Amino acid sequence: MRNSGVDRLVKLGVLAALSCLMMLIRFPIFPTAPFLEYDMADVPILIGTFLYGPWWGLLLTAVVCILQGITISSASGIIGILMHFFATGGFVIVAGLIYRRIHTFKGALISLVCGALTMILLMIPLNLLFTGLFMGTPIDKIAAMLLPVIIPFNAIKAFGNSIITLLLYKLIGRVLKIEFIHAKTDNRPQE
């Protein structure tokens, strides 16, 4: 018999690996802020949140943020790790708690919209605080970028990843469950 806790950790590991792979495909949206790059790394994290709940999603967020911070985005260091963790973590907690209560397509839609709005709002003070520290840019210059660049970028990223999550959640959830069912039947004693 297979341990469901071990199975969950393995599946979360697969989702973390997918998230790290999705970080490799990234590109700037606004030429005036090439340091703001869109990636789909939050999609597997959100799917993990829907499958296993907000606290597992937050753990997945922490793992992915650390892996990204020491590999792909090592130049941003601890500041990049913290910003990613707070932004995605806020998204995950809000979306996960709502989806846990309203476990339907409508609930998924509401949870992703609320999670995306949380992320967008969190990124305003995070950018004002951390971007100035990281880039050595005065706060007034960052504040001037909020409306024309930073808020639209975070909206595009949050809602883009939400749409992709809605499109892929059921498919990936089925694949992970089918894999689990096959593993259970393959471990049955031979007759």
pLDDT of residue 2: 55
Residue 33 forms part of a structural domain: no
Query: CA-to-CA distance for 53 and 35, rounded, in angstroms?
Result: 31
Q: Would you state the structure tokens that stand for residue 150, as one six-digit string?
A: 């930073």
Residue 122 forms part of a structural domain: yes
Query: CA-to-CA distance for 46 and 165, rounded, in angstroms?
Result: 7
Q: For the chain, which residues score pLDDT lower than 50?
A: 1, 180-191
Residue 88 forms part of a structural domain: yes
Q: Would you state the structure tokens that stand for residue 90, as one six-digit string?
A: 């806020």
Look up the CATH number of the domain holding residue 177.
1.10.1760.20
pLDDT of residue 79: 87
User: What range does the domain containing 137 cover?
Assistant: 4-24+38-185
Residue 56 CB: number of other CB atoms within 10 A?
20
Residue 29 forms part of a structural domain: no
Residue 9 forms part of a structural domain: yes
* Nearest CA among 148, 157, 149 for reference residue 84: 157
Handedness of CA 76, 81, 85, 88 (dihedral sign): positive
- The CA–CA distances, whole Å, from 75 to 70, 71, 83, 108 equal 9, 9, 13, 35
Residue 191 forms part of a structural domain: no
Enclosing H/E stretch for 60: helix 54-70
Q: Residue 46 burial by CB count (10 A; 0-12/13-18/19+): exposed, middle or buried?
A: buried
- Number of independent structural domains in the chain: 1
Instruction: Give every CB contact of residue 120 below 8 A, 6+ residues apart in sequence.
Output: 151, 154, 155, 158
Query: CA-to-CA distance for 135 and 119, rounded, in angstroms?
Result: 21
Residue 190 forms part of a structural domain: no
Residue 32 forms part of a structural domain: no
